[in-house]
Chains A and B, each alone.
Chain A
Amino acid sequence: GEDVEQSLFLSVREGDSSVINCTYTDSSSTYLYWYKQEPGAGLQLLTYIFSNMDMKQDQRLTVLLNKKDKHLSLRIADTQTGDSAIYFCAESYGGSQGNLIFGKGTKLSVKP
């Protein structure tokens, strides 16, 4: 069945780059998303990529998609303490074709 996998923890130093990885199983996914959750808050949509793209850049965020390996990554450049949060990746098939499937989330800790 469908599954989205992420490592549970990542620790980096302030100013370094963070790379959060995600693997998914369904090659027919249409969109892949990255969400950020700060403690005690809801999920905030950070960015998303359409499945026919390889890369998307948005300020400090770079999303890379390798469809052959079903691998998605989120790179955060110049990581700040405010980036400490849980990051979820999710896949979908597009409108009216089933709900988003979420990974369990990666907790990013940024040390000063």
Chain B
Amino acid sequence: DGGITQSPKYLFRKEGQNVTLSCEQNLNHDAMYWYRQDPGQGLRLIYYSQIVNDFQKGDIAEGYSVSREKKESFPLTVTSAQKNPTAFYLCASSWQQGEKLFFGSGTQLSVL
């Protein structure tokens, strides 16, 4: 089955800690994205990547970092610089930028 897998489903972060959210896709898509969702806020773009070894900041990149070493994988690190990390994080992919997105099932990050 082709799709996007996010893990873990739930994640807890202690103060001062970096945590990494995993996103893997087997759809052979070139473009991948990370969104943050807060209640009533809709989706906000954190980072996106159009091709391996390249990525761009979205609207709210501060306190986050990404890598794109493989086409299939686009992990997101929430660093200790992100002071309000509690949110639902969604990974998505598309054949190329601007085309319809396919989403993973999300990771809920909470602060201990």
Contact = CB atoms under 8 A, between A and B. Distances in A.
Bound pair (A, B): yes
Contacts of A45: 100-102
B106 A96 contact: no
Interface in B80-112: 88, 90, 92, 95-106, 108
Interface stretch (A16-24, A53-61, A100-108): A100-108
Contact of A42 (B45, B99, B106): B106
The majority secondary structure among interface residues of chain A is loop
A93 B97 CA distance: 10
Interface residues of B, number: 27
Contacts of B92: 42-43
B105 A8 contact: no
A33 B43 CA distance: 14
Given A40-B108, A41-B106, A43-B103, A102 B43 contact: yes
Contacts of B43: 43, 88, 102
B59 to A, nearest CB: 10
Interface in B44-100: 45, 48, 50, 58, 88, 90, 92, 95-100
B98 A40 contact: no
Contacts of A31: 99-100
B61 to A, nearest CB: 13
Nearest to B10: A40
B40 interface: yes
A104 B40 contact: yes
Given A88-B43, A102-B43, A95 B96 contact: yes
A57 B43 CA distance: 27
A97 B99 CA distance: 9
B102 A100 contact: no
Contacts of B42: 88, 102-105
B106 A94 contact: no
Contact of B100 (A8, A33, A41, A42): A33
A98 B98 contact: yes
Nearest to A41: B105
Interface of A: 8, 31, 33, 35, 40-45, 48, 88, 90, 92-100, 102-105
